[in-house]
C-alpha cells in the first residue's frame, strides 16, 4: 500500500550542484505533479504531467526540469542548485480531472 513514494527524504546540496528527486506511484494514476512549499507558505506548482508523455510548466518552473519516465515515475531535476531552491518538495498523483489527489511525504532540500 505504498501510494506515492519520493526519494530522497532529506538532501543537502552545495550551490551549483545538480540532483534529481524521484517520484513513483503505484495507483495507475494518469497525472503527476511536483510542488514546492517554502516556510509558512502554501504549495506552488512547479511542473505537472497530465498524462504519460506530456509535461507542462506550473507557476514556478525556472531552474527545474522534469521527466515523465513512464506512467509510474515522474522525476524533478535541479541542474544547478541555488539557495532560493531550498524548500520542501512534494510529489502528487491523481487518476484524472475530478479525482482525489494523493501526496508523497515530501523531500526536504537545503542548498548552501
Partner 1 sequence: GIQVEQSPPDLILQEGANSTLRCNFSDSVNNLQWFHQNPWGQLINLFYIPSGTKQNGRLSATTVATERYSLLYISSSQTTDSGVYFCAVGETSGSRLTFGEGTQLTVNP
Provide the binding-site residues for partner 1, judged by CB under 8 A: 31, 33, 35, 41-45, 48, 50, 58-59, 88, 90, 92, 94, 96-103, 105-106
In the complex, minimum distance from the CB of residue 106 to partner 1, in angstroms, rounded to a whole number = 5
Strand partners, 109: 11, 87
In the complex, minimum distance from the CB of residue 12 to partner 1, in angstroms, rounded to a whole number = 17
The phi, psi pair for 85, rounded to 5°, reads: -95, 5
* CA separation for the pair 15, 67 (Å, rounded): 22
DSSP 3-state assignment of 11? strand
Number of other residues whose CB lies within 10 A of the CB of residue 15: 11
User: Of 81 and 94, which CB lies nearer to partner 1 in the complex structure?
Assistant: 94
User: Of 17 and 73, which CB lies nearer to partner 1 in the complex structure?
Assistant: 73
User: Of 53 and 97, which CB lies nearer to partner 1 in the complex structure?
Assistant: 97
Amino acid at each position: 500500500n505504498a501510494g506515492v513514494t519520493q526519494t530522497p527524504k532529506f538532501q543537502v546540496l552545495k550551490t551549483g550542484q545538480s540532483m534529481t528527486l524521484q517520484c513513483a506511484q503505484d495507483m495507475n494514476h494518469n497525472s503527476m505533479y511536483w510542488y514546492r512549499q517554502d516556510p509558512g507558505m502554501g504549495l506552488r506548482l512547479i511542473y505537472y504531467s497530465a498524462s504519460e508523455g506530456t509535461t507542462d510548466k506550473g507557476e514556478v518552473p525556472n531552474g527545474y526540469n522534469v521527466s515523465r519516465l513512464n506512467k509510474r515515475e515522474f522525476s524533478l531535476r535541479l541542474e544547478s542548485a541555488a539557495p532560493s531552491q531550498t524548500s520542501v518538495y512534494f510529489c502528487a498523483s491523481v487518476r484524472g480531472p475530478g479525482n482525489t489527489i494523493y501526496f508523497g511525504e515530501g523531500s526536504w532540500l537545503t542548498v548552501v
